[in-house]
C-alpha cells in the first residue's frame, strides 16, 4: 500500500481540492505525466501542470534538504546565511551557479516589478545582472554581498513571525531524532482562444514548461473567465528552505500580471510519510504545523493574503473519506468509475 500511495495520492489531491492546475519542479515530471494520462480515463477531470526549473544549490548541485550548505533554511541566523553564501560556488557562468539562480528565481520574483541595487547600481531584471556579471561588470563579491543583505532582511521578517510558542513547539516535536482496463477518454472539443487569452496564458507559463506541451486544460481555464484555482504541494521533509517557496513566487508572478487566482500551498504530510517514512507518523502533525506557519509568514511577506493560503492536508475532511479511498483503489486497478458504480 505504501508503494501505491506514493503514486496515487498526488493525483487524487487535484480532484479533492478542486483545482484547475498544479505546479511542481521538473523532478515531478513523471508524476505529472501519469496524472495527465490517467485522471481523464478515471473520469476525474483533466488538469494542467507547470514545471518550474530545479534551482541549483549553493554548492553547485541541486538544492537538497539533505545537504545543509546547498540551501538557505528560513530559520538560519544572519551569520549562518552569510557563511553559506560567502562559501557558495559562483563561477563566471550561468550553469550550476547557485548565486545567480537566487537572483533569477528568488530575488527578482519577490521585488517584481521593482528593481534591485547591486554594487550601488540599479538593475531591473535578472538578465541585466547576469550579463553584467558574465561580462565582468559585477564581481562575485558584489553578487554575494547583495544576496546576503537581501536574504537577511527578508528572513528577519519571517523569523519574527515564528517567535511564538506554536512554532517553537511544532519545531521541537516535529524534528525529534528519527531512526531512519483501458478506457478511451472522450474527444475534446476544438477550442478557439481569443488574442487577449493567449497573452494571459503566456504570462501564466512564463519560463516554465507545460507538461507534455499540452496546454488545452490551461486554455480552457482561462477562456472561462473565472478565478483560476491552482495548487503547489510541498512535503514537510527536512527543514523548510527557500526551495519550498518556488510555488509562491510563481503565484506572485501570475498575480502581478493581473491574473486573478485562488492559490493553495498544500502541505502534504502523508506523502512525506509514504516516502520511506522520511517523516514518522507520530511527527506528521508537528511537521505540518511548522511548515504551515512558515508558509503563512511568507504569504504575508509577499503580500499574497487573500489570493493564496496555506492548507494542511490533514485539515481536509475528504482526504481519508470513503470516496477518497475508493478513488485510490480505482487508480490502483483496471476498474473504471462506471464499473465501480455499484459500490458507491
Query: Residue ranges per domain, the chain?
Result: 1-52, 78-162, 199-343
pLDDT of residue 32: 81
Residues 131-145 have pLDDT tens digits of 999 999 999 999 999
Contacts 24+ apart (CB under 8 A), 252-256: 252/109, 252/110, 252/112, 252/302, 252/304, 253/109, 253/112, 253/206, 254/203, 254/204, 254/230, 255/304, 255/307, 256/112, 256/113
Distance, CA of 20 to CA of 200 (rounded, Å): 15
Confidence class of residue 327 from pLDDT cuts 50, 70 and 90?
low
> For residue range 81-103, what is the model confidence (pLDDT) as tens digits?
999 999 888 899 988 888 999 99
pLDDT digits (tens, 9 = 90+) for 270-280: 777 777 778 88
More confident residue, 79 or 42: 79
pLDDT, residue 203, reads 83
Mean pLDDT of the chain: 81
pLDDT at 172: 83
pTM: 0.58
User: What integer pLDDT is reported at residue 326 of this predicted model?
Assistant: 60
Is the model's pLDDT at 316 over the cut of 70? yes
For residues 255 and 304, the answer to whether their CB atoms sit within 8 Å is: yes
Helix pair 284-301, 140-161: axis angle to 10 deg? 110
**What is the band of 56 on the pLDDT scale with cuts at 50, 70, 90?**
confident
Alpha-carbon gap, residue 153 to 78, rounded angstroms: 9
* pLDDT over 60 at 334, yes or no: no
Q: Name the more confident of 244 and 272.
A: 244
Q: Is the pLDDT of residue 180 over 80?
A: no
Is the pLDDT assigned to residue 63 strictly greater than 70?
Answer: no
- DSSP letter for each residue of 188-236: PPP----HHHHHHHHHHHTT-EEGGG--HHHHHHHHTTSPEEEEEEE--
Could you name the CATH architecture of 199-343?
3-Layer(aba) Sandwich (3.40)
Q: Report which of 312, 281, 289 is spatially closest to residue 240, judged by C-alpha positions.
A: 289
Average pLDDT for 189-216: 80
CA–CA dist 327, 337 (Å, integer) = 8
Would you state the pLDDT for residue 341? Answer: 43
Mean local confidence (pLDDT), 16-41 = 79
> Please, which pLDDT band fits residue 31 given cuts at 50, 70 and 90?
confident
Fold for domain 78-162?
Answer: Tyrosyl-Transfer RNA Synthetase (1.10.240)
- pLDDT on residue 339: 46
pLDDT of 286 > 70? The answer is yes
Instruction: Encode burial over 132-147: b for 16+ CB neighbours within 10 A, e otherwise.
Output: bbeeeebebebbbbbb
Would you state the cell numbers that stand for residue 152, as one nine-digit string?
537577511
Amino acid at each position: 500500500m505504501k508503494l501505491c500511495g506514493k503514486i496515487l495520492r498526488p493525483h487524487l489531491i487535484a480532484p479533492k481540492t478542486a483545482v484547475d492546475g498544479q505546479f511542481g519542479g521538473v523532478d515531478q515530471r513523471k508524476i505529472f505525466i501519469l496524472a495527465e494520462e490517467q485522471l481523464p480515463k478515471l473520469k476525474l477531470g483533466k488538469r494542467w501542470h507547470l514545471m518550474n526549473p530545479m534551482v541549483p544549490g549553493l554548492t553547485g548541485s541541486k538544492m537538497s534538504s539533505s545537504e545543509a550548505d546547498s540551501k538557505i533554511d528560513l530559520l538560519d541566523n544572519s551569520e549562518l546565511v552569510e557563511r553559506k553564501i560567502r562559501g557558495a560556488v559562483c563561477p563566471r557562468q550561468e550553469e550550476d551557479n547557485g548565486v545567480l539562480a537566487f537572483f533569477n528565481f528568488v530575488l527578482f520574483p519577490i521585488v517584481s516589478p521593482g528593481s534591485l541595487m547591486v554594487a550601488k547600481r540599479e538593475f531591473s531584471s535578472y538578465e541585466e545582472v547576469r550579463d553584467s556579471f558574465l561580462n565582468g561588470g559585477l564581481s562575485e563579491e558584489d553578487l554575494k554581498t547583495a544576496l546576503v543583505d537581501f536574504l537577511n532582511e527578508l528572513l528577519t521578517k519571517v523569523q519574527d513571525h515564528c517567535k511564538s510558542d506554536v512554532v517553537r513547539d511544532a519545531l521541537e516535536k516535529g524534528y525529534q531524532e528519527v531512526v531512519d482496463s483501458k478506457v478511451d477518454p472522450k474527444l475534446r472539443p476544438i477550442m478557439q482562444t481569443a488574442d487577449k487569452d493567449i497573452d494571459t496564458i503566456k504570462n501564466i507559463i512564463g519560463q516554465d514548461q507545460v507538461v507534455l506541451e499540452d496546454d488545452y486544460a490551461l486554455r480552457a481555464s482561462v477562456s472561462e473567465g473565472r478565478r483560476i484555482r491552482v495548487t503547489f504541494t510541498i512535503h514537510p521533509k527536512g527543514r523548510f528552505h527557500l526551495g519550498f517557496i518556488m510555488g509562491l513566487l510563481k503565484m506572485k508572478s501570475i498575480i502581478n500580471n493581473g491574473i486573478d487566482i485562488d492559490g493553495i500551498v498544500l502541505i502534504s504530510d502523508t506523502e512525506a510519510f509514504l516516502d520511506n517514512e522520511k517523516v514518522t507518523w507520530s511527527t506528521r502533525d508537528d511537521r505540518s504545523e511548522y511548515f504551515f506557519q512558515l508558509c503563512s509568514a511568507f504569504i504575508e511577506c509577499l503580500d499574497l493574503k487573500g489570493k493564496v493560503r496555506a492548507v494542511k492536508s490533514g485539515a481536509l475532511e475528504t482526504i481519508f473519506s470513503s470516496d477518497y479511498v475508493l478513488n485510490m483503489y480505482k487508480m490502483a486497478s483496471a476498474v473504471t468509475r462506471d464499473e465501480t458504480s455499484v459500490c458507491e
